Amino acid sequence: MIRVDSIAALTEQVQHWKDKRFTLGLVPTMGFFHEGHLALMRKAKSQCDKTVVTIFVNPRQFGPQEDLQLYPRDFEGDVAKARQQGVDLLFSPDPQEMYPDGYQTSVSVAHLSQGLCGTSRPGHFDGVATVVAKLFNLVRPKVAVFGQKDYQQLALLQQMNSDLHFGVEIIAHPIVREEDGLAMSSRNKYLTPLQRQKAVGLFEALQHAAGCISETASVPASILITAVERKIMDIEDCVIDYIAVVDALTLRPKENAEPGDVIALAAFFGGKVRLIDNITL
């Protein structure tokens, strides 16, 4: 596995592969790999000749009160895991490499960045769109693989890809869960043992709501939101950030929920650990 930390080295290797007409698959990450990340790598590898994985804890997608400095890191462990998956190139730049002195440009996806996580994390999705746009330009991948756990991010990047004509095939990978159903996340590391035990209640609440629509084509979204809210309010040390039923493509809130819509949530454990999850009805 090739390891590079400079844009010059990355573009040189990418051009070498392009000259050989190899197809490239891209998996952008912030590191601290778990099985969810590894599943994305395997998917990219199955689709292309060469797989590029990036590790970059992007400061532009963290707010002033968020956990940039505390975000979990295990670079050498990540290197070993990526190598085990057969990744061909690992790109791990520092912030100065990606945003040198004088950097001024930002990418914004106006409507899809609003609501859901965008409400409590202003500017977050501009940071996501900007760094992914840069990576698309640098790697020029045939495919890029993103997880459905960050559903708003996925929708936003699909829109950006279309609007800016990158021509990348974006593959949405299903949420990878622990055996008990908790969505895998690097932030799960922050949970206490009791919080970890209780956190599975988020997925159980979503499953409960999905069951409310299984026998009918449409129900008021407020019924599903209330059903989830009641379940989560019973979880010790858990505070709801949002619960929403949205259209799967536009992310616009739905008055009446139908099969194919998405119910998404975010919640805090201990006032600090923010977890997200979603389910398609």
Active centre residues (catalytic): 37
Contacts of 90 (CB under 8 A, 6+ apart): 1, 2, 3, 4, 52, 53, 54, 55, 78, 79, 82
CA distance 43 to 47: 7
- The DSSP bridge pattern shows strands 256-257 and 273-280 to be unpaired
The DSSP secondary structure of 171-201, one letter per residue, reads EEEPPPB-TTSPBP-GGGGGS-HHHHHHHTH
Name the H helices within 33-142. Answer: 35-47, 75-84, 95-98, 117-120, 124-139
Tokens in use for 278? 């979603």
What's the rounded Cα separation, in Å, for the pair 127 and 160? 13
142 three-class SS: coil
